[in-house]
Structure 1
C-alpha cells in the first residue's frame, strides 16, 4: 500500500554535552546522566533557528536526489511551530519550490507523531488524494525548557526529519493501532507559547506557563501500562508473531524506559534498536532518525519487517509495521 522511499534528518550545530550540564548542575555528573538516560549529548537550536528552518534543511537535502515535482502532499508534524498561523507546511511548500496544486497541512503530535504521520499518509494514498508524500517532523522543544530545569535539559534535543512516502501497489498492507488518553495532558505540557515573535522565557520562575513541564513518573507509568498492550495488539492485528519481526524501533524516550519496556514485552535485545546517545530525545524525529541510521549502517535488508511504536505527550500512542 505504502513504502518509505528515503529518509533524511537535520541536527542543529550547537551541541550540549553531559560535561556542559555537569558544569551547570555539579550535583549531577556526566557519567550519571549517561547511565541514567543513555544520552551523552544533544543538539540545540540557535537563538534564531526554528522548526521551519530545520525542516527546510532536512527536506532540501532529501529532495536533491528526488524529483520534487512528484510530491503532491506535505504532512508537517510539530509542537513548536514558528507561528500559530499560517501553517508551517504551507511556508515549507513555498521555500522548497514545490508545485502549488498540492496539499499541505500541519498536525500537532509529539512522540507518536511519526507513526501518526504514516497513518495519515496511508489514508491519503488509499483515498487517491496523493501518491507521493513528504512527511516532516521537526521539534525545537529546548526553546521551551527553563535554564534551571536539569531533568528536561538532559533529555531533550532538537532535530528535524524528512521522509518520502510513496504509493506501492505490491507493498504489504500493514495495519495501525492508535490510542489516546487526554486525561494525561497535564503531565507533559507547555501552557503558553509559540515563539517566532516576541517569545521570551522568564528565568526567575522555575516553571512558568511558557516552560515545558513534564511529570516524569506519570509519563513512565503511562508508558508501562499502555505500550506492552500496544505491542501485543499490533502484532495480533497484523497476524504476526514476535519472531517474525526483524527489528523493533520505539520512540527514543530514554534508555531506562526503553530497556524496561524491552524486558517487559520480552523483545530480544538483538532486535531492539536504541539510538539516542548522540541526539537525545528529539520527540517526533526519534523514530525516523533511528531508521535512517539503521539504513546507513545497512542493518535493514529488503523485506525486513520493522515494528514502529511511538508514545508520549497527549497522552498519545501508535504502532505499525513497515517494510523497505
Structure 2
C-alpha cells in the first residue's frame, strides 16, 4: 500500500518513561559477565526502563497524553479521534482505546480504535489518524503508542531481557498545510518469527504452555512468553526496509540528499546502523538512542523524536522519513515535514 495524504500534520509529540532503570551490567550475576558484555556490544543497549507490574501501557500513554495537553495548552474537547497502538492492551475486550477516552476525560463523540501492532505500529497509528482527518471525520487525532514488553519476557531469556524496555507516548495529528506519504507492507508468512504463541484463542494458556523450555543458546521461555527469531528478523529488515524507503522517496519526489532526518525503528544499535548504511544515509542524520531505552516496540519512533528533537538540535526536519519494522511481519514508512512540530523531552512524573 502506498499513498500521499495532504493537509495533515504531526502537531506535537511526547514520551513518558517508567522510573525504574535496569542497567544491563546488573545482570552479570544472573547471566555471567562475559555473556552480558557480549550482548551489550552487539545490541548497544546499556540500560532500559521497566514499568512496575501493576502498570500497563495504557497507564504510561495516559500520563504522556496528559503531559502533552498541559505543555501544549491543548483543549481536550478538540480531540475527536483516538488511536491506541499497543501489543500489551489492558484486556482481550473491550478495546483499551475506549477506556482511555473515559480516563482522559475526552468527548463521547470520539472515534476510538486499538491497533494491535508492535514495531511498525506507530506508522499504522499515524496512517489511521491521517485517513480520518483526510476523510473529514476528524480534525485532531490523539495517537497513543506504547508497550510493557518487559512483562512478556521470561526472566530466563537473556536474549530479550537485555534488549526490550517499556515506554508510553502521545502524538497529536491535526489538520495542517503539510502532507504525509505512506508505504506499508505485510508478510504473514513470518508470523511465527516474533510471537507470543499462547494466550489467544488459537492456543489458550494451560499447564502445557507454561512448561519452561530451553533453546540451544540457553535462553529459557514458555509458550506464554515472547519469542523472537533474531536472525530472521534481521534478515527481513535488511532486505525490505531499504526497498520501501527508496520507493517512498520516489513517491515524494525526493532524492537521498533531500532528507534531513531519518527516524529508524530502534531495534538495536547494530540493526539501525546496518539499515542506515544500506540506505547510504549520513550518520549525523540518523540518530540512535537505543543505548538508554532499548527496544520499546511501537514507542521507539515517538520516543526518538521526543528525545533528540526537543530542545536545541541541528536536524532539518522539513523532509523527514520514519520507518518501523517487525512483528507481523510488517514494515511501514512515512515521509513528512516536522518543521512546525512541537517536541517535548521524555518525562517520568
TM-score, length of structure 1 as denominator length = 0.94
Aligned pairs (5 A) from 1:48-67: 48-64=54-70, 65-67=73-75
Task: Quote the Cα distance in structure 2 between the aligned partners of 1:266 and 1:301.
Answer: 17
Cα deviation per residue 1:126-153 (whole Å; 9 max; x = unaligned)? 1001000100001011111011100100
Cα shift at 1:294: 2.4
Contact 2:156 2:221 in 1 (8 A): no
Aligned pairs (5 A) from 1:140-159: 140-159=148-167
Aligned pairs (5 A) from 1:1-324: 1-28=7-34, 30-64=36-70, 65-168=73-176, 170-171=177-178, 173-193=179-199, 202=210, 204-205=212-213, 206-299=220-313, 304-324=318-338
Contact 1:50 1:82 in 2 (8 A): yes
For structure 2, list consecutive stretches of 5 or more residues without a partner in the other structure. 1-6, 214-219, 339-349
Change (3 A) 1:199 1:294: farther
Cα shift at 1:207: 2.6
Contact 1:39 1:279 in 2 (8 A): yes
Change (3 A) 1:28 1:148: farther
| Root mean square deviation, CA, Å | 1.9
Partner SS state of residue 100, structure 2: helix
Partner SS state of residue 176, structure 1: strand
Task: Quote the Cα distance in structure 2 between the aligned partners of 1:220 and 1:301.
Answer: 28
Partner SS state of residue 291, structure 2: coil
Change (3 A) 1:125 1:276: same
Task: Quote the Cα distance in structure 1 between the aligned partners of 2:292 and 2:334.
Answer: 26
Contact 1:302 1:323 in 2 (8 A): no
Structure 1 range deviating more: 262-271 or 284-293: 262-271
TM-score, length of structure 2 as denominator length = 0.87
For structure 1, list consecutive stretches of 5 or more residues without a partner in the other structure. none
Contact 2:260 2:316 in 1 (8 A): no
Cα shift at 1:203: 7.7
Aligned partner of 2:216 in structure 1 is none
Contact 2:133 2:139 in 1 (8 A): yes
Partner SS state of residue 180, structure 2: coil
Contact 2:82 2:112 in 1 (8 A): yes
Contact 2:211 2:223 in 1 (8 A): no
